[in-house]
Amino acid sequence: MAPARSMSMTQNFLILWAKWRGAANAVRRMEGVMVFHISVAIVVLSLLVGVGTYLFLDVFRFLMGQAVFGPPLMDRLVGIVFLAFFSMLVFSNLIITLSTTYISREVDFLMAQPIAYRATFRQKLLESIVYSSWAFALLSLPFFLAFGISRHVTWHFYPLVLVLLVPFLTIPAALGSIVTMLITAFLPARRTRTLVAVLGGMTIVLALLLARLMNFRTLFQQAEEGNFLQIMSFLEFGSSPIVPSTWMMNGLLALAPGSLGPIDFSQYLYWLAMLVATALFLVQVNEWLVPWLYYRGWCLTKDSGNRGQASRSSWSPLNAVDRLLTFLPGQARALFSKDLKTFWRDPAQWTQLVILMGLMAIYIANLRSARRYSPTIEFLVTDWKAMLALFNLGATCFILSILTTRFVFPMLSLEGRQFWTVGLAPMRRSMIVWQKYALCLLSALTLSILLLTLSNHVLQVDIFLRRLSLACTILMAFALSSLSVGFGALMPNFREDNPARIANGLGGTANALLSMAYIGVTMGLVGVPVHLQSKGLLASTAFWQNWSTLYILGVIVFQIAIIVLPMALGLRKWNRLEF
């Protein structure tokens, strides 16, 4: 057993060394544009962190300023935030583990080498942790900065929080790996619709249970009764002692007690030990299951689930799509049909889309509670309706940016390996880029307008905000589609065949950051007239009377620049590529 374990560890180091060399070579090839990429990343990240920290700090300072109920309410809300983050990380790891650990050409290559299954699995588990955690790390950075500033912590707070994050991020990755291993061992991953039904159903059921348990309707009813103790008892839901998010919250509070006393290092070490012990235990469970389930699951992923010929029946969805596209020119119709069929046959893509659709349905269903109890909230926040409409607009565009980054940005990169077949066709190379843009724009407009219309109807938003939010959504659909397709052409990755890894790479990260920065700037620009309108000052404010034309013109120029520039740069780069 000892020699086998030693050999497995040696193989781990060899794989890591090979990946390190590959990363170093990739960086060396990018020396000419590295300064540009780093500069853009720094600017966008600084903007994201700055705006996010300001918003979180404003909320935290307001709560800390409420002498009696502010600090304990803030602690409970932090617990709920960590619970939401933990749940999203588990769902994310379910999908990422499937695509990186089973459906990957690199795994196929490693399985053909004299390498232990455990060594391959460990590498892929590490990749899953990294790919699923980078977005959480970016989004949580302004949260932790604002939390520390509001609690007047010392500089020791931030490195100690990073220590807590390592086991906290490992736990959902290990959980997702265990669940995925069990599913793939008994259900072929390439049987698309079956696997989608399993993972999507699990996610939606868990989300429904979470929404039902949280039941914000009860919270608002209790707020009407003025029973603060019952409200705090209700918010204890996010502080269940059996959930790792609670251990993370307790460790954070031990480092930042506020005015309650000095840092409690004993409590911090206790909750750190809980997180580390749980993470190590779950990793060990994975180690126990690998010899029994991993190879079996990987073999089943090679089973197509259909050994006969492709279905040619008239009711096939793919054939129905082909009939719907008959109005298009032959070249465009062939490209549209190819992309839709490729998407239909990819289980990882389908699973994520179904989960996202389910969560969106739950989001719209739970907006009824916000509308029903809006009068109660307006007693404390006079601009609540305008804020709710802006939040709904921001949430719609944020969902749209997730879709474009995850599904659209990798599309041009995935053309790389088989581009020679498309390149032999008698058509311009730029047509491929414009076809991706048209497909993305059509999907983005359909989804965003439908989601915004339904949510505004549920919230009973007034006509001014409905028209403004609809116009903003249409503009953002054009801009986010341009960012994703343009950056996909500007920074393609033809060496990778995994869409999730392409989206989580340098280009995908830059696209995600720029998309979020664009949404933040646009929401800020839209927030000015919305705020004035909610106060009844839009027609009487001197600033708006004198500068409204220039303000609107500046907004239009900004939107046109975001729509035009990424596509222009992307087309220029794409036409010069050598395949």
Q: Tens digits of per-residue pLDDT, 376-393?
A: 555 444 566 677 777 778
> In the predicted model, is pLDDT for residue 564 greater than 90?
yes
Q: Tens digits of per-residue pLDDT, 239-255?
A: 678 889 889 989 998 88
Q: What is the DSSP-derived secondary structure letter of residue 237?
A: G
What pLDDT, on the 0 to 100 scale, is given for residue 494?
Answer: 78
Q: Which residue has the higher pLDDT, 305 or 579?
A: 579
- Residue 50: name the closest of 151, 141, 154 by CA: 141
- Residue 346: name the closest of 201, 499, 157 by CA: 499
Question: How far, in Å, CA of 267 to CA of 197, rounded?
Answer: 42
Please state the φ and ψ torsions of residue 167, each to the nearest 5 degrees: -70, -30
What pLDDT, on the 0 to 100 scale, is given for residue 370?
Answer: 56
Q: What is the mean pLDDT of residues 159-181?
A: 91
CA distances from 67 to 61, 71, 291, 381 (A): 11, 8, 57, 19
Lowest mean pLDDT of 90-99, 122-131, 538-547, name the range.
538-547
Contact 178, 285 (CB under 8 A): yes
Q: What is the mean pLDDT of residues 92-100?
A: 77
Q: Tens digits of per-residue pLDDT, 323-337?
A: 777 777 777 777 777
CA distances from 369 to 215, 234, 363 (A): 9, 16, 11
CA distances from 344 to 97, 441, 564 (A): 20, 19, 30
H or E, element range at 48: helix 34-64
> In the predicted model, is pLDDT for residue 375 greater than 70?
no
Output the pTM of the full model. 0.66
What pLDDT, on the 0 to 100 scale, is given for residue 378?
Answer: 52
Q: CA 68 from chain center: how many Å? A: 36
Q: What is the mean pLDDT of residues 40-56?
A: 75
Contact 85, 245 (CB under 8 A): yes
Question: How far, in Å, CA of 456 to CA of 453, rounded?
Answer: 5
Contact 130, 529 (CB under 8 A): no
Q: Taking the CB of residue 155, how many other CB atoms lie within 10 A of it?
A: 8
- Highest mean pLDDT among 108-117, 429-438, 530-539, 565-574 belongs to 565-574
Look at the block and give the residue holding tokens 């119709």: 333
What pLDDT, on the 0 to 100 scale, is given for residue 258?
Answer: 63
Percent of the chain with pLDDT over 90: 11
What pLDDT, on the 0 to 100 scale, is given for residue 169?
Answer: 92
Question: How far, in Å, CA of 295 to CA of 301, rounded?
Answer: 10
Q: Which residue has the higher pLDDT, 24 or 298?
A: 298
Q: CA 304 from chain center: how many Å? A: 29
- Residue 209: name the closest of 80, 362, 399 by CA: 362
> In the predicted model, is pLDDT for residue 534 greater than 70?
no
The token pair at 338 is 């190819």
Q: Which residue has the higher pLDDT, 361 or 399?
A: 399
> In the predicted model, is pLDDT for residue 214 greater than 70?
no
> In the predicted model, is pLDDT for residue 128 greater than 70?
yes
Q: Tens digits of per-residue pLDDT, 178-212?
A: 988 888 887 654 454 555 555 555 555 555 555 55
217 — pLDDT class (breaks 50, 70, 90): very low
Q: What is the mean pLDDT of residues 429-453?
A: 86
- Residue 151: name the closest of 61, 272, 80, 77 by CA: 61
What pLDDT, on the 0 to 100 scale, is given for residue 563?
Answer: 92
310 — pLDDT class (breaks 50, 70, 90): very low
The dihedral formed by the CA atoms of 64, 67, 69 and 74, expressed in degrees to the nearest 10? 10
Q: Tens digits of per-residue pLDDT, 218-239?
A: 444 444 444 455 455 545 555 6
Mean pLDDT, the chain, as a whole number?
75
Look at the block and give the residue holding tokens 């600017």: 43
306 — pLDDT class (breaks 50, 70, 90): very low
Lowest mean pLDDT of 339-343, 382-386, 397-401, 468-472, name the range.
382-386
530 — pLDDT class (breaks 50, 70, 90): confident
